[in-house]
Amino acid sequence: RSGELATARAAAKMGICMSLSSLASSSIEEVSEAAAGGLRWYQLNIMSDQSVTRNMVSRAEAAGYRALAVTVDQPVRGRWYQDMRQKLSLPSYVRPANFDIAYAQLHGLKSSHNDITSIIHLILKIITCPGLSWDYIDWLRSITNLPVILKGILSVQDAKEAVKHGVSGIWISNHGGRQLDTVPATIEVLPDIARAVGDKVEIYVDGGIRYGTDVLKALALGAKAVFIGRPVIWGLAYNGENGVTQVLELLLQELQTAMALSGCASIDDIDSSLVSHQQKIWSRL
């Protein structure tokens, strides 16, 4: 029931950035209070209702968040077959805290009924924007002084266009592979995007980061930092805040070991020579 709060405290303890989802069950303000000294970004979903966007951006600024990570790969919801097969549902106590607050402030009412199905349908309607275009990014940058980072970029063309529109960072992500089937793995597109725009903006990546060696490879191929999702959930399920701390400590220890065994005394020593693509290996046989 306090997953985001526990995660925020663990991340702050480890000196690691936490990106809070718009769909979190704890509000922007609650997470800020739980980890006042931590580095926090706000992961902003694209919404057709710009008044809700303004509300959330203003609240993130006031609560000390340092950047907006804008999810751009969900103008419509993909076909999440696994959720459909499992008939995914949420417990009654889980509510979209940020939307409840936004609607209360804007309209003086709660965002939805007590029926959890109604909540889900409302959220899915709010957080999609079929008419999404680069104009939205320009508008967003005009209403905030926070750095804008685009999350969900998978092509060099989009990365270059994002730079033209003044974004501060590119977050390479494929939404856990759930939005569009058969899209490439993020690690596969990272090198080309890093070569194309890595000298202009910072590059981040998520997806499949499970070991310290995964972090090492991502840094070697041009990422400034990596983000993790499922390992944090596993840590929460295991032992709450302490479980998340253990996951983060383990990744850091594994990265330090991998660096030492690769001859890297510092992050600056990590480069692409540490990574060989499978195709290169097979071509020698």
C-alpha 140/C-alpha 53 separation (Å) is: 9
Instruction: Report residue 114's pLDDT band, with 50, 70 and 90 as the boundaries.
Output: low
Q: What is the pLDDT of residue 49?
A: 80
* Residue 191 one-letter amino acid: P
Token pair of 275, please?
């990574």
Q: Is 45 left (phi over 0), alpha (psi -120 to 50) or beta?
A: beta
pLDDT in tens, 1-15: 689 999 999 999 999
What is the rounded distance in angstroms from the CA atom of residue 111 to the CA atom of residue 124? 13
20-46 average pLDDT score: 92
Q: Are 22 and 44 in contact (CB under 8 A)?
A: yes
Give the pTM: 0.88
Per-residue CA distances from 107 to 84, 101, 104, 133, 239 (Å) = 33, 10, 5, 27, 39
CB 147 within 8 A of CB 68: yes
Categorize the per-residue pLDDT at 122 as very low, low, confident or very high, splitting at 50, 70 and 90.
low
pLDDT digits (tens, 9 = 90+) for 271-281: 999 998 776 65
175 assigned to active site: yes
Give the span between the Cα atoms of 247 and 13, in whole angstroms: 13
Which residues, at least 6 apart from 138, have a Cβ–Cβ distance to it below 8 Å? 165, 166
Q: Which of 27, 14, 95 is closest to 62 using CA atoms? A: 27
Average model confidence (pLDDT) across the chain: 87
Model pLDDT, residue 109: 46
Higher pLDDT, 31 or 280: 31
Q: What is the per-residue pLDDT across 224-252, written as a single tens digit (0 to 9) for each? A: 999 999 999 999 999 999 999 999 999 99
User: What pLDDT score does 96 carry?
Assistant: 75
35 phi/psi in degrees, rounded to 5: -140, 65
Is 129 in contact with 48 (CB distance < 8 Å)?
yes
Active-site residue identified among 113, 121, 175, 277: 175
User: Can you tell me the distance from the alpha carbon of 214 to that of 185, in angstroms, rounded to the nearest whole number?
Assistant: 13
Q: Compare 145 and 52 and report the one with higher pLDDT.
A: 145
